[in-house]
Amino acid sequence: MRKIGPVRNALNLAASGLALALGVTAAWGAPPPDKVALTGARIIPVVGVPLARGTVLVERGKIVAVGEKVEIPYDAREVDCSGQVIFPGMVHAHTARGLDIPNEPRPVVPHLDAGDALDPSQLFFEDCLRLGVTTVHVIPGNNTVIGGLGRVVRPVGLTVADMTVVPQSFMKISVSEKFDRIQQMAALREALAELDDYFAQLAEKRYEEQLKKDEKTLDVGPAEARKRGKDLIRAEDVEERYRNLLRLRGGQVRVDGQDGPTLFKPLGAFVYVDSGLDVGNATRVAKEYGFFDRVVFCVGGPAFKAMDELKAAARPIVLPPELVYRETNPLTGEVRETFLPRPYFDAGLKFALTPAAEDQYAERMLTYQAARCVREGIPRDVALRAITLTPAEMLGLADRVGSIEVGKDANLVVFSGDPLDFDSVVERVFIDGILAYDRAKDVRLQRLLSEGLSDVKEKQPAQPGKTDKPEAKPDAGEPDADNGKEKPE
């Protein structure tokens, strides 16, 4: 991924334009308002019972009270949401949008960070706000072997730092063929195994350096030296291209800071598996190299055919945007359709829904994807969790986002009606208690709607007997269209 530092000023200007187009402040680094009360709305907290008419009280970016009888402080800014619905900010679990390119040409690049290719000025983030998405996991795409680190961001801010929620989230791995399946798996195993050789040599080197420092001579063989030197390895000793692989495999080395020695935090992996065969390959590799318990499977359409293995693995699932998988019988020509959430739900697996690209009007909305699940018999609470709390759990952020609960970040979406009603629209979005989107001040949307209405009026066919000429005003002797008086005889 290309670094975007050289064009940072241009991006800042573009991002400022996005903020102005949405009617929000460009200074996202400013502290949130002290107290905000969203009142009079129906509240769908995702966790717990919905409230018919309640209040969400926010203080300094955190939810401090939720209920039907919340005492509103005298100094709180009150936002009247009567007749509307308050819903948690939605969580987009997996996307390469927002990056300048989805993948590097090289297949094995574990040292790359999505933050270096993140473009805050992309309209994708503006659309996220319009659709009620407040947390986005931006991670390299599927066309890779080891693609680098993702980043969890909020879809607002002038800089990458402003947007960042979690700087280094998960490693992206794909076992579905970039070349062919054998080469794909060979490249993955080679990259992971290379760490063992590097780490062994580094441990032996550190042990020899310690002996030299203590003015002692080498008195053990290479195997024992490597064993003794393992605990002497420091973070600064590990080359950048191996550091993330070390974290992926759960390796622990010292990081000397102001608070004393700490350890590298283990790294999880979002693993793309397109077919049923890929599921088995991914499971074996993840178990062999010690990161299976930190895997999230990003599945393709046919992956459900390996449901026995997926069920045994019991790992979280990110579903593809295309929720219907179609396959044609080569003999009969019969087309068979599978609604993908159904087999995963029946297997008891947790899954997150993802939206389609912007060129698909309905499927680009997470609420529409959830509504389709309900239509196909998936329980409503499961569908709502699949766009909020379940992806938050996958990202390790369930204590901050994904539901309306006391102590969580005030990421809130105000809908005009029920979120799963296709006629409902996002009226306002609050992120960390700050108004990040206001539909009434959305310049691009208002222009689009006004132009659309103008086009509709221009294309309306003329009524029979009508002309484009303006009608003459009735005089006193003609029938009056308003009062129904007839012409005197």
Output the DSSP codes for 98-161.
Answer: TBSSSS-SSSB-TT-BGGGTB-TT-HHHHHHHHTTEEEEEE---SS-SEEEE-EEE-S--SSHH
The CATH class of 268-399 is: alpha beta
In the block, which residue shows the tokens 């573009």?
Answer: 14
What confidence tier does 483 reach under pLDDT thresholds 50, 70, 90? Answer: very low
Interval 420-464: pLDDT, tens: 999 999 999 999 999 999 999 999 888 888 876 566 556 666 555
Average pLDDT in the chain? 86
Statement: residue 466 has pLDDT above 70:
no
Q: Is 387 exposed, middle or buried (0-12, 13-18, 19+ CB in 10 A)?
A: buried
Q: What is the pairing mode between strands 164-166 and 151-153?
A: antiparallel
Q: 248 with 269: CB under 8 angstroms?
A: yes
Helix (H, G, I), strand (E, B) or coil at 354: coil
Query: Which runs of consecutive H residues, i.e. helices, occur in 138-232?
Result: 160-163, 181-213, 222-229
Q: Where are the domains of the chain?
A: 5-169, 181-241, 268-399
Interval 225-278: pLDDT, tens: 888 887 787 777 888 888 899 889 887 666 655 555 556 778 999 999 999 999
207/287: higher pLDDT: 287
Question: Which pLDDT score, from 0 to 100, does residue 230 have?
Answer: 79
Helix (H, G, I), strand (E, B) or coil at 429: strand
Phi, psi of 195 (to 5 degrees): -65, -35
Question: Of 391, 150, 92, 399, which is closest to residue 270 (Cα–Cα)?
Answer: 150
Question: How many CA atoms, within 13 angstroms, populate the side-chain half-sphere of residue 206?
Answer: 20
Statement: residue 470 has pLDDT above 80:
no
Cα 53 to its chain centre, rounded Å, is 29
Query: For the chain, first and last CA: distance in Å?
Result: 86
Question: Of 329, 332, 300, 302, which is closest to residue 317 (Cα–Cα)?
Answer: 300
* Residue 161 bridge partners (DSSP): none
Interval 96-144: pLDDT, tens: 999 999 998 899 999 999 999 999 999 999 999 999 999 999 999 999 9
The contacts of residue 143 (CB under 8 Å, 6+ apart) are: 102, 103, 174, 178
- Compute the distance between CA of residue 51 and CA of residue 383 in angstroms, rounded to an integer: 19
Taking residues 18-46, what's their average pLDDT? 75
Interval 55-106: pLDDT, tens: 999 999 999 999 999 999 999 999 999 999 999 999 999 999 999 999 988 9
Query: Which runs of consecutive H residues, i.e. helices, occur in 230-350?
Result: 240-248, 276-288, 307-313, 341-346
Q: Is 52 exposed, middle or buried (0-12, 13-18, 19+ CB in 10 A)?
A: exposed
In the block, which residue shows the tokens 């002797």?
Answer: 477
- Compute the distance between CA of residue 471 and CA of residue 474 in angstroms, rounded to an integer: 9
Q: 397 with 409: CB under 8 angstroms?
A: no
What confidence tier does 380 reach under pLDDT thresholds 50, 70, 90? Answer: very high
The contacts of residue 155 (CB under 8 Å, 6+ apart) are: 124, 125, 126, 128, 129, 133, 134, 136, 163, 436
Q: 38 with 86: CB under 8 angstroms?
A: yes
Supply the DSSP symbol for 194: H
